[in-house]
Amino acid sequence: MALKFKTLQSSNIASAAHDPETSELHVKFKSGATYVYADVSDDEAHDFFNAPSHGKHHNENLAGIKKHRRA
């Protein structure tokens, strides 16, 4: 199944997609880098997509907290 990336209004993040089957959150940055965060629940993804600041939410709840890899 192909992921459907949602364009985000962020100065740092271009788009993101959550895969509920694998519990992975794929985040594409405007720099061109894409990171995949593991063990992101549906609720956590919902919070990320609905955050007033996607970059701030990423920095406070994903970066350095969730296991991740560069895609």
pLDDT in tens, 42-54: 999 999 999 999 9
Whole-number Å distance between alpha carbons of 63 and 48: 12
1 has pLDDT over 80: no
> What's the sign of the alpha-carbon dihedral 6, 44, 34, 64?
positive
2 has pLDDT over 90: no
Residue 50 has a pLDDT of 97
Q: pTM for the whole thing? A: 0.94
Please report how many Cα atoms fall inside a 13 Å half-sphere around the Cα of residue 29, on the Cβ side.
13
Query: Which helix (H) or strand (E) is 16 found in, with range?
Result: strand 13-19
Whole-number Å distance between alpha carbons of 19 and 44: 12
